[in-house]
């Protein structure tokens, strides 16, 4: 009797969107990590990837937030599907907070440099280190499931597959537009040329 509820199309569609955008984010975040480790040489790439990340991150937060709201407001379909493991439920708010801090301080530094003090650089770096550790735990826990969920739409085309793909693709297009819009913005972190 529980099987049809556990495989509810709405719950499955939400899980697939979360998995799909999760896979995209894993790739972008790996690139962001690499460019962050070679910060001085790869700052422009680090900034571009950071701006591209903003809309997909918002999409992932919306998808997970929707599941959270449906589960905790007592929706029978989401209650039947069950919550994430306890460790992931406890880690979730920490990841959200660190993600907001890392991206927020990154954007603040790009736009304003040191105008509001030098404290934002260590805040960005420290939160990025903490964020990396928490994300590593998160990714390891979903390493197998997220790609399976993302690939499922290419196999059986659960209703809304085109919409889910469009949301993910649209978030990437918006991210690219944001990155392009921010590149000409003057920042103290990239020399503009001229004499030594």
In the predicted structure, residue 1 carries a pLDDT above the cut 50: no
- Longest Cα–Cα distance in the chain: 75
Q: What does the DSSP 8-state code read for residue 85?
A: P
Question: What digits encode the pLDDT tens for the residues 64-74?
Answer: 999 999 999 99
Give the model's confidence band at 112: pLDDT under 50 very low, under 70 low, under 90 confident, else very high: confident
Give the model's confidence band at 192: pLDDT under 50 very low, under 70 low, under 90 confident, else very high: low
Q: Residue 193 has what pLDDT?
A: 52
The whole-angstrom separation of Cα 153 and Cα 146 is 12
| 80/3: higher pLDDT | 80
Select from 45, 18, 59 the least CA-distant residue to 172.
59
Give the model's confidence band at 190: pLDDT under 50 very low, under 70 low, under 90 confident, else very high: low
Look over the chain and give the mean of its residue pLDDT values, rounded to a whole number.
89
| 149/175: higher pLDDT | 175
Gyration radius of the chain's alpha carbons: 19
Select from 182, 172, 173, 183 the least CA-distant residue to 24.
172
Three-state DSSP at 195 gives coil
Answer for the pair 159, 9: CB distance below 8 angstroms, yes or no.
yes
Where do the H-state alpha helices sit in 73-193? Answer: 76-81, 86-112, 120-142, 145-155, 161-182
Answer for the pair 81, 2: CB distance below 8 angstroms, yes or no.
no
């Amino acid at each position: 009797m529980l099987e049809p509820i556990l495989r509810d199309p709405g719950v499955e569609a939400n899980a697939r969107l979360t998995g799909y955008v999760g896979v995209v984010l894993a790739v972008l975040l790996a690139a962001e990590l690499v460019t962050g480790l070679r910060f001085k040489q790869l700052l422009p790439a680090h900034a571009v990837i950071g701006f591209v990340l903003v809309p997909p991150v918002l999409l992932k937060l919306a998808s997970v937030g929707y599941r959270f709201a449906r589960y905790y407001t007592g929706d029978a379909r989401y209650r039947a599907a069950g919550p994430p493991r306890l460790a992931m439920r406890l880690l979730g708010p920490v990841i959200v907070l660190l993600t907001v801090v890392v991206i927020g301080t990154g954007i603040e530094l790009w736009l304003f440099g040191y105008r509001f003090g030098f404290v934002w650089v260590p805040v960005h770096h420290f939160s990025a280190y903490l964020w990396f550790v928490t994300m590593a735990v998160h990714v390891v826990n979903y390493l197998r499931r997220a790609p399976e969920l993302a690939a499922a739409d290419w196999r059986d085309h659960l209703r809304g597959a085109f919409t889910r793909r469009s949301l993910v693709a649209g978030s990437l297009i918006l991210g690219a537009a944001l990155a392009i819009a921010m590149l000409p913005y003057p920042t103290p972190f990239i020399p503009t040329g001229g004499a030594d």
